[in-house]
Structure 1
């Protein structure tokens, strides 16, 4: 069985199993904000937008999103996880040849059958180099393993891709039974605190209204999100904000911050 090994364990999240479990248990003891109420009970959940920074920065928001997804675990068996390419520039969308992604809490299995179906989509190919050092999917996997231990994933790194191309892949994904999508992205990067809050508020408003297209200055995962925005023109959905903060609120200074938000995506 081919396995993708962790690249950022010990950097973005604890490398040791015991320490990681203690941290996730602490996240799990925090009551979910009221904004998650509908997500916890939704029978029409299509997926979520979650951040991917180190756990001291955005781990609480990401954990809350995964905990809410776990409440829908009877209806969700596979999560397609899309993230931006931070480490390798390439055209198209990259699948992994791995059968599982390794975490300190155990392996997260890859749904290779669904991955093979998605290879039929335009600009989708297996490119292990895109996954080798990429953190934006990896940081979410210990949380999935902790709260959704039976879930399978299809990890996809999104390189230079047109919105219509990503939208076509998403449309095919959402035809599959018991399948939801996680869009892994952070928001603005390295702006002063108040400027970041204003830009992120505009971005969140745009996502809530499902209008226009995003730039890389608004979200590092803009290419996957632009596919979502494109598809929303023909597939009825709504995108509801759940939480927002930035690194100045969690573990960093306020002179150069990174924004984090979570959203729930529902069928309309």
Structure 2
């Protein structure tokens, strides 16, 4: 694949600070205030929200705080999120060499990209990534909590959970590979409706028998794919935080739901 330009940040100054010092301060503050989960094994995969840090940053931080023990272990991050601005079929990879944020530049995993380039579900589509915030807002957290890693950003278009699960299974790797699914939950319900809907979403995810519905999470396809592969590999989900914008920084007439979830081995969750 020929060398391509670096993908510049599109959401800096909108969803998170564009100033590196301010961004660093905000992320460290969110991580410092995050509630730790003593006794839990390090996660293989996490699900985190992707709104502005003011709204969902504290929820996301509860999952990113779990990466502290993986700082020097993780060398590859599979980052998956929905495409909000560009319609396409398949799973899109950008044709660039790196993603940049105000904090740093992270190199893409060209070796892995080459290995999946012929997968029938994979397409190369810069337009799917150019304005996509769901992946970008996770990168400053990853750049802060991990040392040196390469990135595989995957934007999800029209594709089946089975196709995403098959690709995830190929990419699963060992302790050096972390999987991050970027997803918000329900959108634009009033506060009581959102709480009820998001609670049902968690029941579906934790029960492991019912799929998350498309109107329950914007990355439902990726979440369902992860759940399939995780179950097959003996991993269990645990909800670390569940709130919405009405709990964090917004009004309660039209809220967006957020959850932080980790997948760890030998874990059983009771609720």
Matches within 5 A, 1:202-217: 202-217=200-215
Q: 1:159 aligns with which of 157, 164, 174?
A: 157
Residues of 2 paired with 1:194 and 1:5: CA distance?
39
Q: 1:19 aligns with which of 18, 22, 25?
A: 22
How far apart are 1:23 and its partner, in Å?
1.1
Number of aligned residue pairs: give it: 263
Q: 2:68 aligns with which of 55, 67, 70?
A: 70
Residues of 2 paired with 1:212 and 1:118: CA distance?
29
How far apart are 1:176 and its partner, in Å?
5.3
Q: 2:82 aligns with which of 52, 76, 84?
A: 84
* 2:95 corresponds to: 97
Segments of 5+ residues of structure 1 without an aligned counterpart are none
Contact 2:44 2:175 in 1 (8 A): no
Change (3 A) 1:175 1:143: closer
Segments of 5+ residues of structure 2 without an aligned counterpart are 267-271
How far apart are 1:38 and its partner, in Å?
3.9
Residues of 1 paired with 2:237 and 2:226: CA distance?
10
Deviation digits for residues 184-206 of structure 1, max 9, x if unmatched? 00000001101101110110111
Deviation digits for residues 139-174 of structure 1, max 9, x if unmatched? 111111122241221000011111110110111111
* 2:38 corresponds to: 37
Matches within 5 A, 1:127-166: 127-166=125-164
- TM-score, normalised to structure 1's length? 0.92
* 1:28 corresponds to: 31
Residues of 2 paired with 1:77 and 1:219: CA distance?
28
Residues of 2 paired with 1:191 and 1:224: CA distance?
23
Residues of 1 paired with 2:264 and 2:206: CA distance?
11
Contact 2:74 2:146 in 1 (8 A): no
- TM-score, normalised to structure 2's length? 0.91
Three-state SS of the structure 1 residue aligned to 2:232 is coil
* 2:269 corresponds to: none
Residues of 2 paired with 1:27 and 1:232: CA distance?
28
Three-state SS of the structure 2 residue aligned to 1:240 is strand
Across the aligned residues of Structure 1 and Structure 2, the Cα RMSD in angstroms comes to 1.6
Residues of 2 paired with 1:175 and 1:219: CA distance?
26
Residues of 2 paired with 1:159 and 1:9: CA distance?
24
